[in-house]
A and B are shown apart, each in its own frame.
Chain A
Amino acid sequence: MTRRPIDLLVGTFVLLGLAALLFLALKAGNMSSFSLSATYDARARFDNIGGLKVRAPVKSAGVVVGRVAAIVFDDKTYQAIVTMALDERYRFPKDTSAKILTSGLLGEQYIGLEAGGDAAMLAAGDTIKMTQSAVVLENLISQFLFSKAADGDKKP
């Protein structure tokens, strides 16, 4: 098969399309934030996870150290079991605590890890014992209203 000048033009067109896709994936998408490094799973039980979603970030000291891999409901304890895939590079003590936090006032929710002082480290499949649930705005408001009402009863 002989080559023709038209091949060059069509090749440029196709390569341009691939370059555009690559640009969108790397520059506009989160392709570059996919960590290819190995991860290990750690679990945590929460009474209430609020609006936490799968693939939400797990942060420690503000740095992303992993992602939420799965969220399931346990009908024995009526708690949510959150499985986190933590980056193999980062090790945490066994008595690390996990909190569900919100970035900004209306931002997305993420898990914050606070390292403890234990000498033993979390291994794959371990469960984090100390957890703090998400703050649900409705509960907060109702607590506030109840305490207001209690104050009102005392005053007169």
Chain B
Amino acid sequence: MPIERLGARVRSYVDLAGYGARFFARLCWLGVASLRRPRLVVDQIHFIGNYSLSIIVVSGMFVGFVLGLQGYYTLQRYGSAEALGLLVALSLVRELGPVVSALLFAGRAGTSLTAEIGLMKAGEQLSAMEMMAVDPLARVLAPRFAAAVLAMPILAAVFSAVGVLGGWLVGVQLIGVDTGAFWSQMQAGVDVFKDLGNGVIKSVVFGFICAFVAVFVGYEAKATPEGVSHATTTTVVASSLAVLGFDFILTALMFGSD
């Protein structure tokens, strides 16, 4: 019966939402608790953060270059090429910095977390831990979750800073916009709390989203090679969509009023 199947399907989604929420709350609690064993978290920050640095820096640089070129092309039509610095800084700090670095983070670090946890499950290492009365959630998942949540805002800040420098490099050094106007327009238009602060809040939220999706999908992966590969794909798709969706909601909440 199609109705029954529909009902079962809806029920399973509601079930998943409840289970996911409970999992998230437990991860947050265990993540805070895992900070008491900093060695585990530091190892993971090194694995997640330091290794993502190269892709974040290079992408930020190129996004800044492109913003400089495209922004100049549009602004010079209105005779306001001096506002290039403002355009580059605002688009990076408010939008592109948190979002693009979250997407890159999901692809670079989220997949590796999912695959690692999925393979641990497939190799029955997680079950073995449970047999030894070690909670895999506290020992394996929580430090990775905490490390990803901590690393994300740092990566987003680096992305924005490098992007601004990239925009400066193209705008001032290559095209020849006045360097004083570039920085002063930027400083006049970018508010520390409203723009930069909200950008940081965004990147923290995205950190929670990416970390949770990666860890949850990895833990729930089917314990087969196909299951792990499927879970890795799911991580990229789900966290990218969640980041973009939440970005819209956050932007509407933060900047919608003016």
Hey, which bits of chain A sit against chain B, CB under 8 A? Answer: 1, 6-7, 9-10, 12-14, 16-21, 23-25, 27-34
| Nearest chain A residue, comparing its CB with the CB of B45 | A10
User: What residues of A have a CB within 8 angstroms of the CB of B49 in the complex?
Assistant: 10, 13
User: What residues of A have a CB within 8 angstroms of the CB of B191 in the complex?
Assistant: 29-30
User: What residues of B have a CB within 8 angstroms of the CB of A14 in the complex?
Assistant: 45, 154
| Nearest chain B residue, comparing its CB with the CB of A53 | B258
Contact of B45 with A24 in the complex, beta carbons under 8 Å: no
Pick out which of these stretches binds chain A: B65-73, B115-123, B157-165, B169-177: B157-165
Contact of A28 with B46 in the complex, beta carbons under 8 Å: no
Contact of B154 with A24 in the complex, beta carbons under 8 Å: no
Other-chain contact of A7, B42, B164, B183 (Cβ < 8 Å): B42
* Interface members, chain B 75-99 (any A CB < 8 Å): 89, 93
Contact of A25 with B192 in the complex, beta carbons under 8 Å: yes
Given known A6-B43, A10-B42, A13-B49, contact A29–B190 (CB-CB < 8 A): yes
Could you tell me the distance between the alpha carbons of A30 and B39 in the complex, rounded to whole angstroms? Answer: 38
Contact of B196 with A25 in the complex, beta carbons under 8 Å: yes
- Can you give 6 contacting A-B residue pairs, CB < 8 Å? A6-B43, A13-B46, A13-B50, A29-B191, A29-B195, A32-B187
Given known A6-B46, A24-B93, A25-B192, contact A16–B154 (CB-CB < 8 A): yes
Contact of B42 with A20 in the complex, beta carbons under 8 Å: no
Q: In the complex, how many angstroms separate the beta carbon of A146 from the nearest chain B beta carbon?
A: 32
Could you tell me the distance between the alpha carbons of A34 and B192 in the complex, rounded to whole angstroms? Answer: 10
Residue among B45, B93, B157 having the largest count of chain A Cβ atoms under 10 Å: B157
Query: Size class of B's contact patch?
Result: 20 to 34
Could you tell me the distance between the alpha carbons of A20 and B160 in the complex, rounded to whole angstroms? Answer: 8
Please report the number of residue pairs spanning A and B whose Cβ atoms sit closer than 8 angstroms.
79
B6 part of interface (Cβ distance < 8 Å): no
B53 part of interface (Cβ distance < 8 Å): yes
User: What residues of B have a CB within 8 angstroms of the CB of A25 in the complex?
Assistant: 192, 196
User: Nearest 7 A-B pairs (CB), nearest first?
Assistant: A17-B154, A20-B161, A20-B157, A29-B192, A28-B89, A20-B158, A21-B157
Contact of B50 with A10 in the complex, beta carbons under 8 Å: yes
| Nearest chain A residue, comparing its CB with the CB of B60 | A20
Could you tell me the distance between the alpha carbons of A31 and B112 in the complex, rounded to whole angstroms? Answer: 38
Could you tell me the distance between the alpha carbons of A23 and B192 in the complex, rounded to whole angstroms? Answer: 11
Given known A29-B192, A32-B187, contact A13–B160 (CB-CB < 8 A): no
Could you tell me the distance between the alpha carbons of A33 and B185 in the complex, rounded to whole angstroms? Answer: 13
Q: In the complex, how many angstroms separate the beta carbon of A11 from the nearest chain B beta carbon?
A: 9
Could you tell me the distance between the alpha carbons of A19 and B160 in the complex, rounded to whole angstroms? Answer: 12
Contact of A28 with B153 in the complex, beta carbons under 8 Å: no
Given known A10-B49, A13-B49, contact A29–B157 (CB-CB < 8 A): no
| Nearest chain B residue, comparing its CB with the CB of A7 | B42
Q: In the complex, how many angstroms separate the beta carbon of B156 from the nearest chain A beta carbon?
A: 9
Besides A13-B50, A28-B187, A31-B192, 19 other A-B contacts (C-beta < 8 A): A10-B42, A10-B45, A12-B50, A13-B151, A16-B53, A18-B154, A19-B161, A20-B154, A20-B162, A21-B157, A24-B93, A24-B160, A24-B196, A25-B192, A28-B93, A28-B164, A28-B190, A29-B191, A29-B195
